[in-house]
Structure 1
Amino acid sequence: MKHISILVPKGAILASLEGSRQLLTQVNGFFAMRGEGPVFTVELVGVTQETQASGGRFTIHADTVIDKVAETDLIIIPALDGDLQQALEDNKEFIPWIVSQYNNGAEVASLCLGAFLLASTGLLKGRKCATHWMAANDFRKMFPDVELVTEKIITDENGIYSSGGAFSYMNLILHIIAKYAGRETAVLAAKVFAIEIERENQSSFLIFRGQKDHEDEPVKQAQEFIENNISDRISVEELAVKFAIGRRNFERRFKKATSNTPIEYIQRVKIEAAKQILEGGRKNVSEVMYEVGYSDTKAFRSVFKKITGLSPMDYRNKYNITFS
């Protein structure tokens, strides 16, 4: 039987905490219906027996506290709410316990913004991690030694898991159920809880927001120039000349400041504009393509799908608000 410790941090988002508990305990229910014993022991584990959540609106009663858990098989860190720097300070007592348990063979999973607490342990250094796309810039700034993969729904690397934004935590829990209790059980859980199984990509949900929380003023001006001239074809050479910086130096500074190369930034800005047009209007794909500065249909479709995971037509069909 696998022992699972769902942490109860201060500022936990209840949906991910209680949702995970329900999914995992339901697995035991499935086995009981077949006359078999439980596969999971699921405990809520806090630093203290009672913890405030959702801005003090709720009090969570933990089953036990970390000092009393000598050994566990899986630690689940739920999503955090509010100011993340403060949340890390409020929950720093978990960190040595998580590290100790991982070094003793436990696996660790973070859900959505729980990735910030997981990254604070140092266990993610040099590894891939997913989190909510809205927090991507803050995460990269705070944990530059972690490879953030904003497009991923889940990551699974050397006993460390993470999930993307919001309710994508359900896909990670299903992934864990499949590993621990078998794919058949995970499929059954997906059906019972009406979860779309095997989603791998959250790119179509992303809203690109350029990283501007930096001190490189010429790069910031270049970002604004790109954003204000979406319909133009802008080259890296043109930007370097315009802001009087050698091309190689410009590319290096731009990547350091924004976490994107200039070409990536130009593409993301244009595709974000294309997405907004496809969502809110009735223009066809060719009209949208020209409006955001592309003249090659194949290139536009290729870049669009690379960034969003969908073709322009599929994206419009899925998200357009004017179509009935």
Structure 2
Amino acid sequence: MYAPLFRSQFPNVELKEERILVQAGTGHSIVCAGGASSWQDLTLFLIARHAGTAEAIRISKIFLYQWHRDGQLPYASMIANADHGDAVVKKCQEYAPLHYQSADIVAELLRLSGLPKRSFDRRFRKATGYSPLEYVQWLRVEEAKQMLEMEDGPIEEIALEVGYSDLASFRRLFRKLAGLTPGEYRRRFRLPANVEAALQAVAPTARA
């Protein structure tokens, strides 16, 4: 989530935000883990390195640990930095979430800014860490994620609702930003059927 901010603060560091584990240094002696629960991957990796693959597999079974094989992208969320002091960009950021379905949203943001395109692109990236197009794409994919997590509608309808009439283009973009296809994402992050059934059986007041 903090990749744009990290890059702005440490431009000389090569950041691999899609990776769960990154090795560096002589003989790969430094191993860096990503998100909070990726300590499990780091633990299994170190066990495999020092005690062998079979032992790492045995430990994973004992503690029900699983490798995050798809990396960090499926778990990443966009952080829309608005504390940057650029009033023009902030106005565009307030407009974008209300109109991201528009086919001409990037052109609309440019008109709203009142700036020449190159100046707008430069200021927008400096303030947010994203180009205007990247920002809109992330907004659309974030909305699609929430719909996939909570709703049962066809993926085609979700694509249309977030601004993509071309399903193939939506699938490619979603996989690029989320690391999974929309169908894979839904299967991973929807509540299991038995959990949903249990929740439906709970009285509304208790559930609240």
- Relative to the length of structure 1, the TM-score reads 0.53
Output one character per residue of 1:87-136: Cα deviation in whole Å (capped at 9) or x when no partner.
xxxxxxxxxxxxxxxxxxxxxxxxxxxxxxxxxxxxxxxxxxxxxx4x55
Return the offset for 1:137: 6.2
More strand by share: 1
Does structure 2 retain, via aligned residues, the 8 Å contact 1:170–1:195?
A: yes
Whether 2:195 is the aligned partner of 1:195: answer: no
Maintained 8 Å contact 1:154/1:200: no
Which deviates the most, 246-255 or 197-206? Answer: 197-206
Equivalent runs, 1:122-161 vs 2, <5 Å = 133=1, 136=3, 139-140=6-7, 142-158=9-25, 159-161=29-31
Q: How many residue pairs are counted as aligned between the two chains?
A: 191
Q: C-alpha deviations, 1:169-212, integer Å up to 9, x for none?
A: 11022223323333333222222222113524122222322122
- Aligned-residue offset at 1:276: 0.9
How many Å separate the matches in 2 of 1:228 and 1:205? 24
SS at the partner of 2:84?
coil
How far has the Cα of 1:295 moved from its partner? 0.5
Q: 2:184 & 2:42 partners in 1: Cα distance? A: 25
Distance 2:70 2:142 in 1: 21
- The alpha carbon displacement at 1:231 in A equals 1.6
Which residue in 2 is equivalent to 1:227? 97
Larger radius of gyration: 1
Identity %: 37
- Taking a change above 3 Å as real, the CA distance of residues 160 and 247 of structure 1, as seen in their structure-2 partners, is farther
Residue 214, structure 1, aligned to residue 81, structure 2: no
The 8 Å contact of residues 237 and 247 in structure 1, kept in 2 or not, is answered as no
Q: Aligned AA for 1:201?
A: G
Relative to its length, the structure with more helix (as a share) is 2
What is the alpha-carbon distance in structure 1 between the residues aligned to residue 83 and residue 14 of structure 2? 19
1:1-324 correspondence runs (5 A): 133=1, 136=3, 139-140=6-7, 142-158=9-25, 159-197=29-67, 199-321=69-191, 324=196
Shift of 1:249: 1.9
How far apart, in 2, do the equivalents of 1:152 and 1:303 lie? 19
Unaligned runs of 5+ in 2: 197-208
TM-score (ref. length: structure 2): 0.80
User: Structure 1, unaligned stretches of length 5 or more?
Assistant: 1-132
Alpha-carbon deviation of 1:154? Answer: 1.6
Do the aligned partners of residues 237 and 160 (structure 1) sit closer, same or farther apart at CA in structure 2, a change above 3 Å counting? farther
Aligned counterparts of 2:4 and 2:83: Cα–Cα separation in 1: 8
Higher relative contact order, structure no. (Cα contacts within 8 Å, ≥ 6 residues apart): 2
